[in-house]
Chains A and B, each alone.
Chain A
């Protein structure tokens, strides 16, 4: 199907099904139940799932395939956001020109940064991209204030030119379909929300995923993987590695720009904090957590991190006390005291620990974890078979 083999076609169909039915899947708990706080079927959260999914899929093309660890990809996302908001300010609230420009600008910006950073590899490369990201942050935060509106962040004002606005909507829209329009389907105690912005982003993510599959299975993708395992051999096989890594860098930069453009399309704001290197670290974590170099890993990782970020940040001490109320007071207080470091504002501590644990124990991420469990079952099964057949011999 569409130039994919059977296995990948199936994977694509699964991803499509998951994104289409996400409003149901993310909302499994009835609203009146205590578990409703674990629901994730809200428009803005679901938008974040797919937008960061795009970001992570793109990052994976660079890091997962070539092994070049960039610590500066948030800069491309930020640049994409700024470009999109400028389109809203100058043209109209239609997201098409905004997204197109954000991808182009991010592509050009990543071409520039990649061209310089890729002169070195390994650690040097990581540090260079990190320095560039911090520089971009400083540029956006203060130096280029006329373009970025500095600390305040860039947003759309009433007196902006918006030359194509006419009588069109004043909120972001796709040819009249407004991004923030949500229809709710009430089914008993459930309320499922279907948001235009989510579905637009989801379509983009599926498209991004499909493209990454094509790249993975192309001769180009094979060359990128070869770069990761042995650059020396590749050079002595007549292949120039620089253009390949640069192409991968720019592609992943454009993915980041797309994510940034979509982010601004959902909420027409752009701020410098999106470009900080901790934001770059976050996408690295998503890809590692899901499984670098795997197709589905980045989407899993992005969903996992964004989901737990949302849930963990919401939990505070009162919620914890509610959970452990059944326990004796002393024990309850002790448990709550320990846990409160990890939830609410302590989410970053959990994130850091998660980061370390994944890198230490599960470098292949969730996908590898799943495979390990799968193998465990298989082995058990085949082990049973073996013990069954042996006496017969």
Chain B
């Protein structure tokens, strides 16, 4: 069963055709990677899923519902969470406060005027947030200001925040960009573990082939705004078109 169905999506920026007639299906409870050389339109495509961009034509269906025209927060409430290339967290707040926000958003929805309630009195939120931090091994850092954490920890916190919303689809935009090998491997392990322990679909945009091949079950190769091929990792490895696309990039 497909959780995400993309049909004929096109997007133009002025004279540049960023996406041209993209068709893509992400099956439920799989890890699906979208790869491609720089400028292939990966991020543009992702932005069309989360409501940051609206495609010129085509449809994006999540679990049978269209996401087009919806605002980012509405799409998120439908069950899509997004991890950014550079970790987007609340840097001025403590780690615990960071964790409580998605818990609140999951419980209360897009807006709740609970100005006269004590935050400390929200036992369910507190417990859920602490549990999530403990799962990530960050319980000891809960009173730390988030800006003081290492980049790897920020990434883990961001992922934990996304998971706290119990999303059905987790989108990751180059989660290991700029990471050291050790951190990259940790992230791979973390994602594998998430895949095993959660009822979740993961779609990942990635440059690092090591990450792609150790995680994904399906791979879509994007080049110049259109999908070249979609297949299993083993078939992708030896595919001539993929080689061409990447070699082409190497020559530039």
A/B contact in complex, CB under 8 angstroms: yes
Given the complex of chains A and B, what is the CA–CA distance between A244 and B77 in angstroms?
17
Q: Pick the interface stretch among B33-41, B97-105, B194-202.
A: B97-105
> Do A215 and B105 touch across chains, with their CB atoms under 8 A apart?
no
> In the complex, which residues 235-269 of chain A have their Cβ closer than 8 Å to any Cβ of chain B?
235-241, 243-244, 247, 251
Give the chain B neighbours of A3 by CB distance below 8 A: 116, 118, 121
CB pair B89–A238 under 8 Å, yes or no, is no
B88 CB contacts on chain A under 8 angstroms: 230, 232-233, 236
Chain B, interface residues (CB within 8 Å), range: 35 or more
Docked-complex contact B119 and A221, CB < 8 angstroms: yes
Tell me whether A237 and B115 are in contact (CB under 8 A): no
Within 8 A of A (CB), among B109-131: 109-122, 125
CB distance from A169 to the nearest CB of B (A): 35
Q: Which residues of B contact A232 (CB under 8 A)?
A: 84, 88
Taking CB atoms and an 8 Å cut-off, the chain B residues in 76-113 that contact chain A are: 76-77, 81-82, 84, 88-93, 97, 100-102, 104-106, 108-113
Pairwise interchain contact A239-B119, C-beta atoms closer than 8 A:
no
Is B241 among interface residues, defined by CB-CB distance under 8 A? no
B119 with A237: CB separation less than 8 A = no
Instruction: Judge whether B73 is part of the interface by a CB distance below 8 angstroms.
Output: yes
Query: Closest Cβ of chain A: how far from B163's Cβ, in Å?
Result: 12
Task: Tell me, yes or no, whether B161 is within 8 Å of chain A by CB.
Answer: yes
Q: Could you list 29 examples of A-B contacts with CB < 8 Å?
A: A3-B121, A4-B118, A214-B115, A215-B115, A217-B119, A218-B114, A219-B104, A220-B113, A220-B115, A221-B115, A221-B119, A222-B100, A226-B90, A229-B92, A230-B89, A233-B88, A233-B89, A233-B161, A236-B72, A236-B73, A236-B84, A237-B81, A237-B161, A238-B73, A238-B102, A239-B73, A240-B74, A240-B110, A243-B113
Q: How far is the CA of A219 from the CA of B116 in the complex (A)?
A: 9
**B10: Cβ under 8 A from any A Cβ:** no
CB of A229 to closest CB in B, whole Å:
4
Q: Please give the residue numbers on chain B whose beta carbons come within 8 Å of chain A beta carbons, in ascending order.
A: 50, 71-74, 76-77, 81-82, 84, 88-93, 97, 100-102, 104-106, 108-122, 125, 161, 165
| Residue of A221, A236, A244 with most chain B CB atoms under a 10 A cut-off | A236
Q: Which of B76, B92, B111 contacts A225 (CB 8 A)?
A: B92
- Determine the distance from Cα of A366 to Cα of B72 in the docked complex, in whole angstroms: 39
Q: In the complex, which residues of chain B have a beta carbon less than 8 angstroms from the beta carbon of A5? A: 120
Distance to closest chain A CB from B44 (angstroms):
17
Q: State how many angstroms separate the Cβ of A237 from the closest Cβ of chain B.
A: 5
Residues 202-223 (chain A) with a chain B CB within 8 angstroms: 214-215, 217-223
- Bound complex: CA of A214 vs CA of B120, how far in Å? 11
Query: What residues of B have a CB within 8 angstroms of the CB of A215 in the complex?
Result: 115-116
Contact call A239/B115, Cβ cutoff below 8 A: no
A218 contact set on B, CB distance < 8 A: 114-119
List the B side residues contacting A16 at CB < 8 Å. Answer: none
CA distance A237 to B163 in the complex (A): 10
- Flag if A228 contacts B92 (CB, 8 Å): yes
Beta-carbon contact of B72 and A247 below 8 Å = no
* A217 CA to B89 CA, complexed, in Å: 20
Please state if B110 and A238 are interface contacts (CB–CB under 8 Å). yes
Q: Which residue of B lies closest to A227 (CB)?
A: B90
A219 touches B122 (CB 8 A): yes
Query: Which residues on A sit within 8 Å (CB–CB) of B97?
Result: 222, 225-226
Contacts A219-B100, A235-B76 supplied; 18 other A-B pairs, CB < 8 Å: A5-B120, A217-B120, A218-B115, A218-B116, A220-B112, A222-B97, A222-B101, A226-B93, A229-B90, A230-B88, A232-B84, A235-B72, A235-B73, A236-B76, A236-B82, A237-B76, A237-B165, A247-B115
Q: Which residues of B contact A223 (CB under 8 A)?
A: 101, 104
CB within 8 A of B112: which of A219, A229, A230, A251?
A219
List, in ascending order, chain B residues with CB within 8 A of A244's CB. 111
Point out the residue from B72, B82, B91, B106 that lies within 8 Å of A230, measured CB to CB.
B91
The digit string for A1-43, where 1 denotes a CB below 8 A from any CB of B, is 0011100000000000000000000000000000000000000
CA distance A222 to B118 in the complex (A): 10
CB distance from B180 to the nearest CB of A (A): 24
Are B109 and A238 touching (Cβ within 8 A)? yes
The complex places the Cα of A236 from the Cα of B165 at a distance, in Å, of 11
Is A351 interfacial (CB-CB < 8 Å)? no
- Closest A residue to B146 by beta carbon equals A229
Chain B contacts of A241 at CB under 8 A? 73
Are A219 and B119 also in contact (CB < 8 A) when A226-B90, A233-B89, A240-B71 are? yes
Could you tell me the distance in whole angstroms from the C-beta of A367 to the nearest C-beta in chain B?
16
Query: Nearest chain-A residue to B78 (Cβ)?
Result: A238
Q: Is there contact, CB below 8 Å, between A230 and B90?
A: yes
Chain A positions within 8 Å of B112 at CB level: 219-220
Question: With the chains together, A221 CA to B115 CA distance in Å?
Answer: 7
Nearest A-chain residue to B87, judged by Cβ: A233
A135 in the interface (beta carbon within 8 A): no
In whole angstroms, how far apart are the Cα atoms of A230 and B157 in the complex? 15
Known A-B contacts A217-B118, A226-B93, A229-B90; A236 and B101 likewise in contact (beta carbons under 8 Å)? no
B91–A238 touching, CB < 8 Å: no
Q: How far is the CA of A219 from the CA of B92 in the complex (A)?
A: 16
Task: Tell me the minimal C-beta distance from A260 to chain B in angstroms.
Answer: 22
Residues of B within 8 A of A235 (CB): 71-73, 76
A267–B93 alpha-carbon span in the complex (Å): 43
CB distance from B157 to the nearest CB of A (A): 11
Give the one of A215, A234, A243, A251 with max B CB within 10 A: A234
Most chain-A Cβ atoms within 10 A of its Cβ — which of B76, B84, B111? Answer: B111
Give the Cβ gap from B86 to chain A, nearest Cβ, in Å. Answer: 11
Q: Which of B81, B105, B120 has the most CB of A within 10 A?
A: B105
